């Protein structure tokens, strides 16, 4: 059972529409749809809310690279184990429109995950990864995640969040395999890339005189 849901992002108006805030977007939409009030709690340095089932929802307000501090404090206070935590975050390795669930694994340079893993001394928490695409150059990643996605990419990210929200009841109830199967099987398949049709080169018929000369050169005159 999931007792703590953490959405990753950066606080402040200047960041609220940037790619790095995809985790915030999902948790905010879930809270709004389910009547969960996310209130600022200075003690935990986060926006904190609770649903009727007793699960906590947290949006750290300590910026991405210090996301682990509120998580560590809240998990410690309520004795929540890493395997009872779900962290929702943006994923560079997935295209916009893709959403995946997994437990543990590498953090691929994500500063929010890095800080959480260090502070709770574990990688065993669950992750809901929202694809935002990759700029194609690792040297521009930091700038890329802190900018708004294109209109097309934002629409695809929103669709992925929609599908992820549909499996939240299974996640919160602890039926992880059902959530994984439902989310991953509903993922739209990428359009197949078709090779452009080959351009046919017309074969030019040899002119009669040239053809005759060619045959004579091969067989000689009779």
| 206 within a domain of the structure (yes/no) | no
Q: Is 9 helix (H, G, I), strand (E, B) or coil?
A: coil
Span 100-128, pLDDT tens digits: 999 998 877 899 999 999 999 999 999 99
| 211 within a domain of the structure (yes/no) | no
Average pLDDT over residues 119-144: 94
Q: What total of structural domains would you count in the chain? A: 1
Average pLDDT over residues 44-63: 95
pLDDT band at 187 (very low <50, low <70, confident <90, very high): confident
Question: Is 20 labeled as catalytic in the residue annotation?
Answer: yes
| 142 within a domain of the structure (yes/no) | yes
pLDDT of residue 163: 97
| 129 within a domain of the structure (yes/no) | yes
Residues of the domain holding 10? 4-185
| 81 within a domain of the structure (yes/no) | yes
Q: Which of 20, 89, 123, 184 is catalytic?
A: 20
The answer, yes or no, to whether residue 199 has pLDDT greater than 60, is: no
| 201 within a domain of the structure (yes/no) | no
Span 158-181, pLDDT tens digits: 999 999 999 999 999 999 999 999
Q: What is the 3-state secondary structure (H, E, C) of 157-198?
A: HHHHHHHHHHCHHHHHHCCHHHHHHHHHHCCCCCCCCCCCCC
Give the CATH number for residue 128. Answer: 3.40.50.1470
| 114 within a domain of the structure (yes/no) | yes
CA distance 103 to 60: 21
| 194 within a domain of the structure (yes/no) | no
């Amino acid at each position: 059972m999931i007792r703590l849901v953490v959405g990753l992002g950066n606080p402040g108006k200047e960041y609220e529409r940037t790619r790095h805030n995809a985790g915030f977007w999902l948790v905010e939409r879930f809270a709004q749809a389910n009547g969960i009030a996310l209130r600022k709690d200075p003690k935990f340095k986060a926006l904190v809310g609770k649903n009727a089932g007793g699960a906590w929802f947290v949006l750290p307000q300590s910026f991405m690279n210090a996301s682990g501090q509120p998580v560590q404090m809240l998990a410690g206070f309520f004795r929540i184990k890493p395997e009872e935590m779900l962290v929702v975050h943006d994923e560079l390795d997935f295209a916009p429109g893709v959403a995946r669930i997994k437990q543990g694994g590498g953090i691929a340079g994500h500063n929010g995950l890095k800080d959480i893993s260090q502070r709770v001394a574990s990688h065993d928490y669950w992750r809901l990864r929202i694809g935002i695409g990759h700029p194609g150059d690792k040297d521009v990643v930091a700038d890329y995640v802190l900018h708004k996605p294109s209109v097309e990419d934002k629409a695809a990210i929103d669709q992925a969040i929609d599908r992820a929200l549909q499996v939240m009841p299974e996640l919160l109830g602890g039926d992880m395999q059902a959530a994984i199967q439902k989310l991953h099987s509903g993922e739209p398949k990428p359009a197949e890339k078709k090779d452009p049709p080959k351009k046919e080169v017309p074969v030019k018929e040899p002119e009669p005189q040239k053809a005759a000369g060619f045959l004579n050169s091969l067989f000689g005159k009779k």
